[in-house]
Amino acid sequence: MSEQLGAESAIAVWPKRDEEAFERGKKELDKLSFDALSFSSDDLVHLTLEMFTALGFPSKVNVSLLKLKKFVLCVRTCMFDNPYHNWFHAFDVMQTTYCLAINSGMTKTLLDIELFALIVSALCHDLEHPGVNNPFLVASRSDLATLYNDRSVLENHHCCRAFQLMLHSEIQLLSDFASADYTVFRSVVLNNILATDMARHGEYTTKLKRLTEAGTPLEERHLDSQFAMEVIIKCADTSNVLKPFDIAKKWAMRVTDEFFVQGDKERAAHMPLTPMCDRTSQGRVALQKGFVDFVIGPFYKLVADAMPPLHESFTLLWRNREEWNLYDDQRLLRELG
């Protein structure tokens, strides 16, 4: 998007705060029980700012409050109205990152500029997500796939758009950063967002296994801060399964809605159907079970071994997995459809 990305209209009015909703949300911000879907879009704008200020930002990194407000509003404006990848998901991942950073002790060990970059990258990690995945963009020969040479197409776009917003003439979020701080900030944001490409999931699993294996020499078990931030944001991006079941199942409906919309587009364009996106053969509950059993469950176990303070944060994962055994798609749709 160019200079006329709507920044002027997006930043015109900071929304009025609903005090009751704000106080309700503020009490839950550091908990995985926070339910972003129970708040309005405006509520989440105020709670986004609250997380920044609770960590001492933006003053700790020489950013004005006005610039940060402009940036938050523009991020919201640039999140598309998809069933899943929307403003509520962007907030949810930021809030979960905030929560896991506190629980892991990271808020006390990272440099201020690193912590600010972690929270910003979580907020921007899916900026302008079109509601389809990388293979779809590549197979459909989209402009984005052409631009980014078929490699981490979405994640590269999210990075690009995040910095275009931050550097926009009406925002200039980073204008007072010293050169060294800008270099650190940019590196952290780029690495964190690029880490969310699920095509790289095996890479992270392999590294975590190496860090936690009994035979790994002690000197090779060090979890450096950049890798730890990437792990945190990966956890937050897939964290619906960690939330109380009433929250988890709402997100499950939304993500499968979006999968099936992609499948409908594939069918209409006579493209090969992505199995998980085929509403005629794929079950919503089965997708949740498979995701936990084969993809994210083993990953969270490795993360807990590498970062023991997070072990308690993952306790609902297997309880939720058992809960899914009591469901079929018909029951899920009756409750939420």
Q: Distance between CA atoms of 150 and 194, rounded to whole angstroms?
A: 14
Measured distance CA(173)–CA(161) in Å, rounded: 14
The answer to whether 208 and 167 have CB atoms below 8 angstroms apart is: no
What are the start-end ranges of the H helices in 15-86? 19-26, 41-54, 65-77
Q: Which residue carries 């899943």 as its tokens? A: 84
Structure tokens at 24: 């309700």
Q: Answer yes or no: is 226 a known binding residue.
A: no
Nearest Cα residue to 120 out of 172, 169, 166: 166
Phi-psi region of 271 (alpha: psi -120 to 50; beta: other; left: phi over 0): beta
Q: Is 125 annotated as a binding residue?
A: yes
- Annotated binding residue 42: no
Q: How far apart are the first and last CA of the chain?
A: 35
The per-residue DSSP string of 117-178 comes to HHHHHHHHTTTT--SS-HHHHHHTT-HHHHHTTTSSHHHHHHHHHHHHHHT-TTT-TTTT--
The answer to whether 86 is a known ligand-binding residue is: yes
Sign of torsion, CA 241 242 246 248? negative
User: Would the annotation count 150 as a binding residue?
Assistant: no
Q: Is 291 a known ligand-binding residue? A: no
Would you say 288 is a known binding-site residue?
Answer: yes
Q: Is 237 annotated as a binding residue?
A: yes
> Catalytic residues, which ones?
85
Report the phi/psi class of residue 128: left, alpha or beta, with left for phi > 0 and alpha for psi in -120 to 50: left
In 10 A of CB 34, how many CB atoms? Answer: 22
Look up residue 110 and give its DSSP letter: S
Binding-site annotation: residue ranges for Zn(2+): 89, 125-126, 237
Binding-site annotation: residue ranges: 85-89, 125-126, 237, 288
Binding-site annotation: residue ranges for AMP: 85-89, 126, 237, 288
